[in-house]
Structure 1
Amino acid sequence: MTSPRFDVLAIGNAIVDVMAPADDALLAKEGLTKGGMMLIDADRATSLYAAMGPAQEISGGSAANTLAGMAAMGCKCAFIGQVADDQLGEVFAHDVRALGIDYATPVRAGSDVPTARCLILVTPDGQRTMNTFLGASQFLPASALDAAMIQEAAVLYLEGYLWDPEEPRAAMRAAIDAARSAGRKVAFTLSDAFVIDRHRADFLDLLGNGQIDILFSNEAEICSLAEV
């Protein structure tokens, strides 16, 4: 086995957080539950963005945030995630690369599906009300993977949220095969109980067949997985 080029390569949702201050009146007007998170469609993302005040864009997503922390500690990291050929796609690519993270996933060109964004309204009491449009991140194809890059990472880290859509699920299965063929470790985060409810059989199969070396979970998620 050759020495790894990367400490961790992660595959996950490529999302730009759009944050703006808000008051309770705006939350009530928009029918939002303070402190909650909901998935929204493109039309709702457009209308809610228009209702928000001046905003700040910060690239995010569960796996990408994990890499940002690891890169800050000096780890060599790479990321695979899908953005569209638009302004927020450029913002995401710039932010990730500016942290020293290797990011070379081709943009999803010729599509009317924009880059994913999470519209976050922050009230004076510090509560974050999140509205997530998954956009192009749900359409990561297996063809976008760089198998050689995956095989050059000591650990492949997979974001459970991205297991939900069919196309990236197939891509992550291919990535697991590439990592294991090179003798690398595979880490997986369960992400959320709703993901487990939909894909429990898949996750138990991956664990039972020894495809996952490191599993990240909180108490609620592991209880859901074990159905106890």
Structure 2
Amino acid sequence: MSPSRFGSTRSLDVVGIGNAIVDVLVQTDDAFLTTHDLNKGAMALVDEEQAQRLYSASGAGMETSGGSAANTLAGLAQLGSKAGFIGRVRDDQLGTIFSHDIRAVGTRFETPAATEGPSTARCLILVTPDAQRTMCTYLGASVQLEPEDLDLSMVREAKVLYLEGYLWDSPAAKRAFIAAAETCRQGGGQVALSLSDGFCVDRHRDSFLELVNGHVDVLFANEDEITSLYGTDDFEAALAQVKGCCQVAALTRSEQGSVVLSGDQRWDIPAYSLGTLVDTTGAGDLYAGGFLHGYTQDLPLETCGNIGSICAGQVVTQLGPRSQVSLSELVQKHLS
């Protein structure tokens, strides 16, 4: 095993900050997207009235606690990492569902539920027969997260603080994000960022470029997100620009696998086809979870990429972002 990437022993491997969202997964068709003027494969922010209207018009759904960072933390916990999550829910039915689900997978979650204000966030995920997912997100209580809500003692105990780019859509959450990152790095921890969504990158390109250049240790992005960040259609051109901006960049390319960069080194990681493609929800989140599990255990970066690829390869064979089989057993099977 390589020397530790982290200077001192910490009680938590990864603490994530993100939008605490209950996912409502619905299988639908392209006609529904067209009727409601939805951009296939993208995430759109909606208000509570729009969220209710779309929910009423869609078919029966499956409810599960979700949100990008929360999905990553759930994957980490399944793999055996010590994980914690910080995010805001309301004291309502969906808030109870979220809190129960994330704790049930072994993730530490202690942020108090809000007793007033908007209801718990929800995301209607419309899955078409080609396994693409189109998301309509009502952020609700999740955007009420403030710096004073942060359990900085948890952040100080983390080897890695994992942040989702979606937080940048809320000024209050953005302030919490920055405060936590500063605390983590002051204590010798590392900061990981997921760019979250190509349209999210479009909205906040300058801020993300500033973050990536010197404030983030580990960057996660898919091909659309990294090319959007650098304003190019050429993946290799984007790679050349991100190279050296952070310690590690892990960039996913769907069926083409992923590329991991660190300094002058590059590893091309294969995709793992573990069954019929059903739903791509959570693929990037589970890739990040698998990668960070290996990373915080000081495994080689190529191994980290393979663990991420295995986890992503599993979650796309089912409906929903939380693996229904043991990820640790799956990783052991494919890497032994």
Q: Normalising by structure 2, what TM-score?
A: 0.62
2:71 maps to 65
1:144 maps to 149
In the TM superposition, residue 191 of structure 1 has moved relative to its aligned partner by 1.6
1:221 maps to 225
Deviation string 1:30-61 (CA, Å, 9 cap, x unpaired) is: 45455554221100111222233332211111
The equivalences for 1:193-208 within 5 A come to: 193-208=198-213
2:174 maps to 169
How many residues align? The count is: 226
In the TM superposition, residue 206 of structure 1 has moved relative to its aligned partner by 2.9
Aligned partners of 1:182 and 1:172: how far apart in 2? 16
Greater relative contact order (CA < 8 Å, ≥ 6 in sequence): 1
Aligned partners of 1:161 and 1:94: how far apart in 2? 23
The equivalences for 1:119-158 within 5 A come to: 119-123=124-128, 126-158=131-163
- The CA RMSD measured in Å over matched residues stands at 2.2
Task: State yes or no: 1:81 paired with 2:55.
Answer: no
Q: Which amino acid aligns with 1:16?
A: V
Aligned partners of 1:42 and 1:144: how far apart in 2? 24
Change (3 A) 1:71 1:130: same
Aligned partners of 2:226 and 2:35: how far apart in 1? 37
Task: State yes or no: 1:96 paired with 2:102.
Answer: yes
Q: Which amino acid aligns with 1:49?
A: Y
Contact 2:43/2:197, CA 8 A, preserved across alignment: no
Contact 2:43/2:199, CA 8 A, preserved across alignment: no
Deviation string 1:126-164 (CA, Å, 9 cap, x unpaired) is: 454432211111221111101111000100011011112
Q: Normalising by structure 1, what TM-score?
A: 0.89
- Paired residue secondary structure (1:217): strand
Aligned partners of 1:174 and 1:44: how far apart in 2? 32
2:9 maps to 3
Identity %: 54
Aligned partners of 1:27 and 1:220: how far apart in 2? 21
- Paired residue secondary structure (1:109): coil
Q: Which amino acid aligns with 2:63?
A: E
In the TM superposition, residue 69 of structure 1 has moved relative to its aligned partner by 1.3
Aligned partners of 1:23 and 1:120: how far apart in 2? 12
Q: 2:59 aligns with which of 37, 48, 53?
A: 53
Change (3 A) 1:6 1:54: same
Task: State yes or no: 1:184 paired with 2:189.
Answer: yes
Contact 2:42/2:197, CA 8 A, preserved across alignment: no
Greater shift in the superposed pair: 198-207 or 158-167: 198-207
Aligned partners of 1:122 and 1:181: how far apart in 2? 42
Aligned partners of 2:148 and 2:126: how far apart in 1? 36
Residue ranges of structure 1 left out of the alignment (5+ in a row): none
In the TM superposition, residue 207 of structure 1 has moved relative to its aligned partner by 3.5
In the TM superposition, residue 110 of structure 1 has moved relative to its aligned partner by 1.3
Query: Segments of 4+ in structure 1 off by > 4 A?
Result: 23-36, 123-127
In the TM superposition, residue 180 of structure 1 has moved relative to its aligned partner by 1.2
Deviation string 1:93-150 (CA, Å, 9 cap, x unpaired) is: 0000000000011112211x11111113345564544322111112211111011110
Q: Which amino acid aligns with 1:94?
A: H
Aligned partners of 2:217 and 2:40: how far apart in 1? 37
In the TM superposition, residue 194 of structure 1 has moved relative to its aligned partner by 2.7
Change (3 A) 1:227 1:29: closer
Aligned partners of 1:33 and 1:216: how far apart in 2? 23
